[in-house]
Amino acid sequence: MNIKTGGCTEDCSYCSQSSRYKTATKASRLIDIEPVLEAARKAKENGSTRFCMGAAWRDLAGRKSGFERILEMVRQVRGMGMEVCTTLGMLTPDQARQLKEAGLTAYNHNLDTSREFYPSVITTRSYEDRLDTIGAVRDAGISVCSGGILGLGENDKDRVGLIWEVSNLPEHPESFPVNALVPIPGTPLENNDRVPYHTLLRTISTARIVLPQTIIRLAAGRNTLAESEQAMCFMAGANAVFTGEQMLTTPCSPWDEDKAMMERLGLEGMQSFEQPNVARKEGARLEATSEQTLGDAVP
């Protein structure tokens, strides 16, 4: 869910939320808590186990009240028994710690592409900046969600470079989202060709071999794939999807279609906190919640 749209000062050349480009995406303020909780309830009712919230910011500097609101969103969504993920730009170690204390399960901070090709896509934030945020998240005990975008103009070597980078982190990310660029009018990459399907498939299969315990998530661009193509992605190693009414700024496959597809393919969803690495990092909190539930059940 996009909780704060547009107006970002970064120059990510694929993103319609940058204030540097003239796109159909309009800037908005951080939304109130209740609409977020309503969306989270709806997501849970439709079988989602993780609720993701994104804000179009470079970082949280000077956003004390907004950050406090987001911490409350995290607390309340976590209170529903769901995993909670956010993407808020760059974080300091202290901000990561506060998110962990509020109950955040995972933090999304994509590397996007290889270290070598990255400057061709973004100039306002360095590769090291991204790695520093990932380090702060990991050190706070939050699961790392970090992947990339295909179709930026990169080549096979860059796609291998991206996977190499995440595989050489101190620990593999819990989640590796695979996005296929959705060219958006007004952005520098508006005329890019869509990434070939077999490139997507080969990236997924390579990531599965190199990152054997990582959740590989089909993300942006999935709605352009036929059901048979999505099935091949699952066979190649993808084992999660982003679902719902919309990604941050691009279309998403709706819940009803996804549930019907999963049933036809014989796929069953994991429960919240079932992934071993997530369960390990959430151990103490999960045990406390379980003890509280048992205590409440005792007459």
Contact residues for 131 (Cβ-Cβ < 8 A; gap 6+): 111
Q: Which listed residue (15, 63, 78, 222) is catalytic?
A: 15
Judged on CB neighbours under 10 Å (0-12, 13-18, 19+), 42 is middle
Of 29, 50, 52, 138, which is the active-site residue?
52
Selecting among 69, 138, 217, 222, the annotated active-site residue is 217
Q: Please give the single-letter amino acid code of residue 201.
A: L
Residue 217 annotated among the catalytic residues of the structure: yes
Q: Answer yes or no: 264 catalytic.
A: no
- Cβ neighbors of 123 (< 8 A, separation 6 or more) are 11
Say whether 85 is catalytic. yes
Tell me if residue 145 is catalytic: yes
Q: Which residue among 50, 63, 78, 85 is the active-site one?
A: 85
Q: Which among 12, 50, 130, 233 is annotated as catalytic? A: 12
- Of 145, 159, 233, 252, the active-site residue reads 145
Catalytic residues: 8, 12, 15, 52, 85, 145, 217
